Amino acid sequence: MDDHAKTQLNELLRHYFWPDGPGCAAVVHQRGQLLFESAVGMSHGPQPSPLRLTDRIDLASCSKMFTATAIMQLVEQGRLRLADPISQWFDIPSNPEHRPIQVIDCMRHTSGIEDYLQAGMYTEPAALTQTGIQQTLMNALIEAVPGVAHHYSNSNYVLLAQIIEQVTQDSYTDHLQHHQFQPLGIDAEFLPQHDGWVLAGSGFAELVPSDHIWVEVLGDGGIGLSAPAAAAWFQALIGGRLVQQQTFKQMTQQQCLDDGTPFDYGLGLLLESDQRGQWFGHNGSWTGSTCVMGHYPTDDLSVVILANEFMAPVERLGMQMHRLLTDN
């Protein structure tokens, strides 16, 4: 990449993130090679300082890709099957009126299980404890009808994390450390309590500091990485170093309901397409962070953007970075 393109990318970052406001770190790879990395804006805390590339940010729902990868690693090892009913691990009464909920239903959000975060940031604190969430999940399992609709639900990935723990007899955090992060030399943290920013228009009149809302479960979110670390992990997934290429291809395939109706989600990956081609990856936002990790296969180009601001326009920024790089 020439200096002019780098200057354009930095100007684009500064258009969305002011030097003295919330911060953003972005990393771009193409054909497995690092093209660009930069951080703009400020960290948030008692003494804000310029955001660094090495600063860790809560990946929010981008964490689902890591949970899905752990499940697919276990599938490759023959320790579980995507068609396994989750009643193997949870006490769910059988219902003769519909088929059992399978692991794959949780992976692609066709389980019919209600989202424990339906109220988002306004969820009652007691409902975000392990006890509160587990009670919500068990009640939702009784009512769920799988395979008839694609309904994005964080509950699915909390259950998948618990399945990982029961299959491996290891904690979710230790399992990911041993099988994803340590082999790649990545320094990760879990359930980060980083404060961030909430933008005007998100129920607030102006940009305000945001206290982190504590959620006591993992699987659906709660992984904290720096942008270069997240990008390195994403490159390892795409490049066949975390799962086999055939497995990764399966993760990126469009899924269908039981009646054959397709929808734009794979196994732990969002799938999108527009006039500029296809895209897969994930996005996420929680109190004090918004992230996107996406890959454009036609151009073999990946963009990872982590911001310490709730509902920051990182997806739009990522699309504009892709357009700038491919139009040059």
CATH number at residue 126: 3.40.710.10
**46 falls within a domain:** no
Residue 210's alpha-carbon distances to 45, 152, 301, in angstroms, are 10, 25, 33
Q: What share of the chain is helix, strand, coil (3-state, %, to 5)?
A: 35, 20, 40
**255 falls within a domain:** yes
Helix (H) / strand (E) element for 327: namely helix 314-327
| Phi–psi pair at 118, nearest 5 degrees | -55, -35
pTM of the model: 0.92
**15 falls within a domain:** no
Q: Structural domain tally of the chain?
A: 1
**323 falls within a domain:** yes
Contacts of 199 (CB under 8 A, 6+ apart): 22, 207, 309, 310, 311, 312
Tell me the sheet residues that pair with 37.
27
Q: Are 274 and 42 in contact (CB under 8 A)?
A: no
Q: pLDDT tens track of the chain, all 328 residues?
A: 889 999 999 999 999 998 888 899 999 999 999 999 999 998 876 677 899 999 999 999 999 999 999 999 999 999 999 999 999 999 887 788 899 999 999 999 999 999 988 756 567 777 777 788 888 888 888 889 999 999 999 999 999 999 999 999 999 999 999 999 999 999 999 976 555 545 444 333 344 455 545 567 899 999 999 999 999 999 999 999 999 999 999 999 999 999 999 999 999 999 998 777 899 999 999 878 899 999 999 999 999 999 998 888 999 999 999 999 998 6
User: What is d(CA 190, CA 157) in angstroms, rounded to the nearest whole number?
Assistant: 15
**The domain containing residue 247 runs over which residues?**
54-327
The closest of 216, 60, 213 to 132, measured between CA atoms, is 216
**252 falls within a domain:** yes
**209 falls within a domain:** yes
**45 falls within a domain:** no
**194 falls within a domain:** yes
